[in-house]
Structures are given as C-alpha cells and as structure tokens.
Amino acid sequence: MIKENYSTKRELPAMKNNRITIILVGVLSIIAIILIFQNRKGTLDRKMSEFAISDTATITRIFMADMKNNKVLLEKTSPGIWSVNNNFKANSFGVDLLLKTINNLAVKAPVSKSGYNNVIKQLAVNSVKVEVYQQVHRIDIFNTIRLFRHEKLSKVYYVGSATPDNMGTFMLMEGSDVPFIVYQPGFRGFVSARFSARLNDWRDHSIFKNLPSDISSIKIEFTETPSESYIIEKFGSSRLEIKSLATNLKLSRFDTIRVVEMINAYKFINFEALLEGLDQKEIDSITASTHLNIITLTDIAGNINKVKTFRLRNKTGDFDESGNLLPYDRNRLYALINDGKEFVLIQYFVFDPITRPLSYLLRQE
C-alpha cells in the first residue's frame, strides 16, 4: 500500500506537466492557425490587386471577350510570333504593346465607396474579360531547379472603362468584389483600349510580305489596258525575264533598276482596313464589276497569292482641276485577298509602286 501511495504521489507532478504542455500546444496551435489565416487573407488581398505579370516571356495565350460577343485568342506560335483565333498572323506591334502593358500595370487605388455601385454596374455591362495563360513549373527552387513545366491560367480579370479624368482604368479581378483604378506608370492616359476583343484590332494587315529571294514570278494584269499586262519571272538570284501578256513575247530590253525596285517593294504591303461594315450585297455588286487589276505572286515554294483590286466610288466629294466631280476615289480602292475570302480597303500610295504598267518598265533611252 505504501508503495502504491508513493507511486501515486510521484505521478501527480508528471500529470500536471503534461496538462501544461497540452495547454501550451493548444494555445500555440490557435496562434498558428490565426497567423496562417491572416497570412492567407493578406495573400488573397494582394492577389486581388495584382494585375501585372512581371515575366511576360512566359505568357503563352491571352483570351479576351467583350459584352458584344467579340472574342479573340492570341497564341504564341514561336518566340515573338503570335496568331489570332488560330487563323491569322497577329500584328506584332499590337501584341508587344499589350505585353508591355500587362507587365507595367499598377494599382493607383481601390474604387471609392461613393463610386463603387456605379463602377460595378459599368463593369457588368461594358468590360472585357481577360484570361492570361503562362508556362510555369510545378517545382521551382530559387529559379535554378525547375521541373514539370506546364501551362497555367494565371490571371483572370475584367477591364472596364476609363476613369473620369482619363488617367486610369477600372479593373476587377475575378473572384473579387473590389474594383481598382489601374494605370501604367509613365503613360498619361488609360489602357482599356489596349485590351480589345475585336479581331481586326489584332490581325496583321500584311497582304504581301515577300523577300526578293523568295519570289518566283509576279504577274500584273490590267483590265482596262491589257497591253500593259505582263509577267516577271526570276531565274536564280540574278536573271530576270519579262513577258508581255498581250503579245506573249519576252522583252529584249527593260529598265532593270525599275524592275528590281518594284520587286523589292513586295517586302511590306499592307491593307488599310478590313471592311466589316459593308453589306454582302454591296460587296457582291462591287466584286461583280470590272476589276482594276489582278496581282498574282508565286513564291519559290509554289505558293500563289492572288489579289484583285476594284475602284472605289467617290464618296468624299473630290473634284478635278476643272471642277468636275471625280467618279472614283483618288486615294483608296477595294481589294479581294486571301483567295477571295476577304474584302479590304487599300491605298493607291501603297499599291502603285507594285503595279507599275509595262510601259514604265521599258528601258529608258
């Protein structure tokens, strides 16, 4: 009995110490949970206002959609090269500007309470949803050990209208109920226009983009003056031949400098605008009329790029020197491109240098 009492007395301090330890562990656990929650809350708050992406080189896709059912998907196909909606080459200048904007976005302030309801309503009816995808690594240790690369949806936010002073843009992160005024440091203005969901704002406007070394032949057909029609054929890097399409005879003499200048001009030929607003009946009426000329470029790989041009009726009220109303526009004309699938507006200033008549290429005495 004495032994048992002695044993009991020896266990009481141990039990007391265990109880204190349990209490301390419990208190520390509660403190840890609070700290974790606060840290998580702080992290979430930061994420709700972090619109910028520092490493834009890792961005692989940018999807944008507006409330008018316009949608564009910009995809990186190779370093520095982007496509639009899987069909067209993207305008590199526009994409570079967008990436620079995403990189530099900064928050000026959250929207004030007084303006909160109005901004939320505006974002609900007039905003562009932006999804940004990046190539990231599941394991990334100090940017040195990187494993398991994959594509991740990293940002989803809504870009609204400009602030009343036009010095900021209202933006809202998906999952947040706090809109922010966002701006680009060093830029006076708003950035909402750079987040466009319209296809035409992102398409590369190139019609011809051929280096002289890549060209096999160029055929120019003039409907109104068939005698000026011809074909230029390249053989190797130094031999050129020109044949009249009216007589089917090769020219014995031509101005080599003028011919080379014209061939070189095909390196960078763009259209001005894609004509979306025209009614299909009007387009059919124009394309059924007599075309001004046909340009057919064949490259060394056998690819053919054919463009038909049509005169544009005078809508600007231009007059000649005698005061007579000109029937056609002096600056612009229409063109069918991409195998006749698209109708665009082009400029004489751009196309005249690549559609010289045969008489212009003849050797000058």
At 128-183, the pLDDT tens digits run: 999 999 988 777 776 677 777 889 999 999 999 999 999 999 999 999 999 999 99
Contacts of 347 (CB under 8 A, 6+ apart): 272, 331, 332, 333
Q: What is the pLDDT of residue 24?
A: 64
Q: Which residue has the higher pLDDT, 16 or 59?
A: 59
Is the model's pLDDT at 2 over the cut of 60? no
Q: Average pLDDT in the 329-336 region?
A: 91
Give Cα separations from 264 to 208, 232, 243, 259, 261 (angstroms).
Answer: 11, 13, 19, 9, 5
Is the model's pLDDT at 110 over the cut of 60? yes
Domain ranges of the chain: 56-201, 206-361
Calculated CA dihedral for residues 173, 48, 182, 159, nearest 10 degrees: 0
What would the pLDDT profile of 34-59 be if each residue is shown by its tens digit?
555 545 444 445 667 799 999 999 99
Vertex 48, ends 44 and 51: CA angle to 5°? 130
What share of the chain has pLDDT > 70, as a percent? 82
Measuring CA to CA, which residue among 73, 350, 70 is closest to residue 205? 350
Q: What is the pLDDT of residue 28?
A: 58
Q: Average pLDDT in the 301-328 region?
A: 81
CA 358 vs. chain centroid, Å, equals 39
Least confident range from 203-217, 238-252, 322-336: namely 322-336
Q: In the predicted model, what is the mean pLDDT of the chain? A: 86
Amino acid letter at 69? N
CA–CA dist 333, 311 (Å, integer): 5
Is the model's pLDDT at 200 over the cut of 90? no
Q: What is the pLDDT of residue 5?
A: 46
Q: Would you place residue 9 in the very low, low, confident or very high pLDDT band (cuts 50, 70, 90)?
A: very low
Q: Average pLDDT in the 269-294 region?
A: 87
User: Which pTM does this prediction carry?
Assistant: 0.68
What would the pLDDT profile of 214-264 be if each residue is shown by its tens digit?
999 999 999 999 999 999 999 877 789 999 999 999 998 999 999 999 999
Q: Average pLDDT in the 189-195 region?
A: 94
Q: What is the pLDDT of residue 138?
A: 77
Q: Which residue has the higher pLDDT, 10 or 191?
A: 191
Q: What is the pLDDT of residue 354?
A: 96
- SS3 sequence of the chain: CHHHHHHHHHHHHHHHHHHHHHHHHHHHHHHHHHHHHHHHHHHHHHHCCCCCCCCHHHEEEEEEEECCCCEEEEEEEECCEEEECCCEEECHHHHHHHHHHHHHCEEEEECCHHHHHHHHHHHHHCCEEEEEEEEEEEEEECCCEEEEEEEEEEEEEEEEEECCCCCCEEEEECCCCCCEEEECCCCCCCCHHHCCCCHHHCECCEEECCCHHHEEEEEEEECCCHHHCEEEEEECCCEEEEEECCCCCECCCCCHHHHHHHHHHHHCEECCEECCCCCHHHHHHHHHCCCCEEEEEEECCCCEEEEEEEEEECCCCCECCCCCECCEEEEEEEEEECCCCEEEEEEHHHHHHHCCCHHHHCCCC
CA 71 vs. chain centroid, Å, equals 12
Is the model's pLDDT at 8 over the cut of 50? no
CA–CA dist 251, 229 (Å, integer): 12
Vertex 97, ends 93 and 100: CA angle to 5°? 140
